[in-house]
Structure 1
Amino acid sequence: MGSGTLIAVFRSLITPPLSLLLLFAIAYAVRNTRPRLAKTLSLSLVSIFLLISTNAGAWLLVYPLEHLERALPDTKNTGAQAIVILSAGSLEHSPEYGGQAIPDYIGLGRIRYAAKLYRDTALPILVSGGFGSKSPAKDSLASAMASALQYEFAIPVLWQEDQARNTYENAQFSARILQQAGITRVLLVTDAMHMRRAKFAFDQTGLVAIPAPTLFFSSSDFGLLSFIPGVEGLRRSNYAMHEWLGLIQYWLFHTKSRPQP
């Protein structure tokens, strides 16, 4: 089992919903010996679960994370020499695409914004993403994104980085390709929750990464449904906690420079 898998397992254990279920199991185990503690812990866990399962509750975690890096105010006067798009996940063996892998909806959101940036700037594009946790797969994450850009958006992709297994490797391996091409300043495209950690990773390489975040979930208006627990609220909370933990990990273990609060 590789270190990347161990880190993924550890993050799953300490992020909801699994972390809450584990704590609930502890409360259940001590229900006879420590009934008051078990009751208090159980009620607290249920309350937390209900809170983070709403979009309004998730907003408490998502909003400060997404606003660590603001939306790009001007796409045309950045001084960038290229556009870098980071992969997300993929849907394997998609029958409507002849069994090919296609980007998931997070990846597609990043592609769509990158397409806008390309229309505004005509800068060359690099897509980055290896085979992820499903290796060996038929297609890398980068190749799935490149295919979508080329065949569905009619936008060329000049470089594909198809070895990275995580965000830090996205940065390291992409930098090697770009620096060989004389590129030192890039527009970095990923979703808003992921942007601060991605920028920090690219800052380690010597490239100047200009944040170009997309998919701001915290900008949605609140309505009645925002306060009703659902899968989307839990997904946003889980993703936000994953990114907060990722920032802490980078802060502790990648000390060449630290992300600023």
Structure 2
Amino acid sequence: MDVVFFIKKLVIVLISPISIVLILGLLALLALLWGKTKRAGVLMALSLFLVWAASFNPIGDSLMRSHEHGLRAFQYNDDLDVSVIHVLGGGHSESPRYATGAQLSSSSLARVIEGVRIAQLYPEARLVFSGYEGYMGVNKLTNAEAAKALATSIGMDEDRIDLLTEAKDTREEAIDVADMVGEGQLILVTSASHMPRALAIFHQEGLKPLPAPTYFLGHDQSSDYTPSIEALNKTQRYFYEQVGLMWIKLRAWLDQ
């Protein structure tokens, strides 16, 4: 299972915009070494155009805005009988130099804060954090434990928190939380960019969560028309999520 997980991550990395640009640049270098100067020029021009387009703010915002379309922040509803608020795992990096919250990635930090906010609205619900230590083996704490540490540091009651520390991806998170939901409502907290894929996976596992998206990447208006790392990250994330959605559809087709 760990091998399959690693291969899946590797494939997603290789077909990302950054990887494609680097591959085109390498092919251009090889063509130049082989004396194919015209072909090398075409490949290099294509790689430069792609890296510019991928890092152009209006393009990144437009892609993410279309992907996150229809998602809104969760609003309190007194009619809901909420039993579980499930905060999906994200990245984190351990260091004795970092404060508790600084160990979490930006997206994971936003998820934890949103989970705590909703838990305050529904004091009878369990707050569940999921996520393992990361496949690079650099962390001792799991992401779920790091998220709990932040939640308790900002006032969340430790007795209301449950941890799912073995889940390595969204499907495993859905499987692990299924037995905890019972007859009540499940609220799903994750990044807005990840929410469409997360909902599709949870539905495939027989769960019907209410979405609570956070950490929106697609801005309604792009005021900056210069290339930037932030825009490149949005484009990268868009393609990552599209590949994930295609994989879900393929898996559903294979299961049939």
Q: Cα RMSD over matched residues? A: 2.6
Residue aligned with 2:139, SS: coil
Inter-CA distance 6–73: structure 2 relative to 1 (3 Å threshold): closer
For 1:78-97, what aligned pairs fall within 5 Å after superposition?
78-97=80-99
- Select between 149-158 and 26-35 the one with higher mean Cα deviation: 26-35
Inter-CA distance 81–154: structure 2 relative to 1 (3 Å threshold): closer
TM-score by length of 2: 0.87
Deviation of 1:124 (Å): 1.9
Match of 1:64 in 2: 66
For 2:197 and 2:90, the matched residues in 1 are separated by 14
For 1:218 and 1:251, the matched residues in 2 are separated by 24
Deviation of 1:115 (Å): 2.0
For 1:257 and 1:66, the matched residues in 2 are separated by 28
Question: 244, 248, 252: which is aligned to 2:246?
Answer: 248
For 1:159 and 1:58, the matched residues in 2 are separated by 36
Match of 2:163 in 1: 160
Deviation of 1:252 (Å): 0.6
For 2:177 and 2:67, the matched residues in 1 are separated by 24
Deviation of 1:126 (Å): 0.9
Preserved contact between residue 101 and residue 139 of structure 1 (Cα < 8 Å): no
For 1:73 and 1:114, the matched residues in 2 are separated by 10
Deviation of 1:202 (Å): 1.1
TM-score by length of 1: 0.85
Residue aligned with 1:61, SS: helix
The one-character-per-residue Cα deviations of 1:66-116 (angstroms, maximum 9, x if unpaired) are 11x511463224443321100110021242448x99322111111111222
Residue aligned with 2:95, SS: strand
Residue 233 of structure 2 corresponds to residue 232 of structure 1: no
Match of 1:25 in 2: 26
Inter-CA distance 109–56: structure 2 relative to 1 (3 Å threshold): same
Residue aligned with 2:195, SS: helix
For 1:256 and 1:38, the matched residues in 2 are separated by 40
- Select between 190-199 and 113-122 the one with higher mean Cα deviation: 113-122
Query: How many residues are aligned here?
Result: 251
For 1:1-261, what aligned pairs fall within 5 Å after superposition?
2-31=3-32, 35-67=37-69, 69-72=70-73, 74-76=75-77, 77-97=79-99, 102-122=103-123, 123-135=125-137, 137-156=139-158, 157-176=160-179, 178-179=180-181, 182-183=182-183, 185-219=185-219, 221-223=221-223, 226-255=224-253
Preserved contact between residue 186 and residue 208 of structure 2 (Cα < 8 Å): yes
For 1:9 and 1:196, the matched residues in 2 are separated by 22
Preserved contact between residue 102 and residue 148 of structure 1 (Cα < 8 Å): no
For 1:44 and 1:53, the matched residues in 2 are separated by 14
For 2:185 and 2:208, the matched residues in 1 are separated by 5
Residue aligned with 1:134, SS: coil
- Select between 232-241 and 147-156 the one with higher mean Cα deviation: 147-156
Show structure 2 runs of 5+ residues with no match.
none
Deviation of 1:16 (Å): 2.1
Deviation of 1:34 (Å): 5.0
Inter-CA distance 202–221: structure 2 relative to 1 (3 Å threshold): same
For 1:38 and 1:222, the matched residues in 2 are separated by 34
Preserved contact between residue 161 and residue 173 of structure 1 (Cα < 8 Å): yes
The one-character-per-residue Cα deviations of 1:126-157 (angstroms, maximum 9, x if unpaired) are 11111221337321110110111112243444
